[in-house]
Amino acid sequence: MCAEDYAMAITPDSVRELLHSEDYGDRLRAVNQMRELDPAAAFELVQLAANDGNARVRYAAVSQLASLGHQDLVTAEALLRRALTGDPEPDVQAAAADTIGGLQLKSIYGELMSLYHSTDEWLVKFSIVAALGELGEPEAFTLLQGAVTSDNELIATAAIGALGELQDDRALPVLLPFTTHPDWQVRHRLVQALSRFSQPEAKAALQQLAQDESPIVAEAAQQHQAMT
């Protein structure tokens, strides 16, 4: 079957039929095929998949809401809030947090904060930190300030990036000590964060990072300097 014939074979009815299959692989394939459908039709169907009994199917559906949720933000918000706070699978909760950030659903900010403090799942915490940065909610500063000291370096690095996205002046004293962090990936994320600030101390730190021993860090800092 050529690509054109394949695209013609995918219809809302064919996807719906797959979603009702007893084989979770078929249902997972249905979620992937939704990308070929009109967004309005896909959004109707993705709601079914978001309530599937299989976690992998729910994960795929919740992730797709990032591109389909604008069809009906009220409905998407309800689905994501339920996935974030009620799904038993951490992967699905993390996907919900990612999508909440992508859709800028600030109304779910409270649930994100509450879950961060109650969960022991590092992946969920990581996704929440990243989402809080995307939301740009000033009240998240205290949480992110604490997250940069997390024992999990991925969470700490995400918090550095999120503090940059907040562009809150209070973040600079928190961020500047990472200029000499031994991990180049942390320093690279720091460059991205500091580039969002115009204060002299941020520019001085970028100047220092432009001479970093890591070529990747140095080049990133130099590029940001050239843009200002």
Convert 132-154 to b/e letters by CB count within 10 Å (16 or more is b): bbbbebeebbebbbebbebeeee
d(CA 105, CA 107): 5
Maximal CA-CA distance, the chain: 61
pLDDT at 8: 54
Structure tokens at 74: 């009220």
pLDDT at 5: 46
pLDDT at 134: 94
CA atoms in the 13 A half-sphere facing the CB of 60: 23
pLDDT at 120: 96
Tens of pLDDT, residues 190-219: 999 999 999 999 999 999 999 999 999 999
- The domain limits of the chain are 145-228
Angle at 187 between CA 186 and CA 191, to 5 degrees: 120
d(CA 25, CA 48): 15
pTM for the predicted model, two decimal places? 0.90
Convert 88-126 to b/e letters by CB count within 10 Å (16 or more is b): eebbbbbbbbbbbbbbebeebbebbbebbeeeeeebbbb
Q: Is it true that domain 145-228 has CATH number 1.25.10?
A: yes
Answer whether residue 43 shows pLDDT above 70: yes
Tens of pLDDT, residues 97-148: 999 999 999 999 999 999 999 999 999 999 999 999 999 888 999 999 999 9
d(CA 183, CA 213): 11
Q: What is the mean pLDDT of residues 63-84?
A: 97
Answer whether residue 70 shows pLDDT above 50: yes
d(CA 148, CA 126): 11
Mean pLDDT of the chain: 94
Answer whether residue 227 shows pLDDT above 80: no
Answer whether residue 50 shows pLDDT above 50: yes
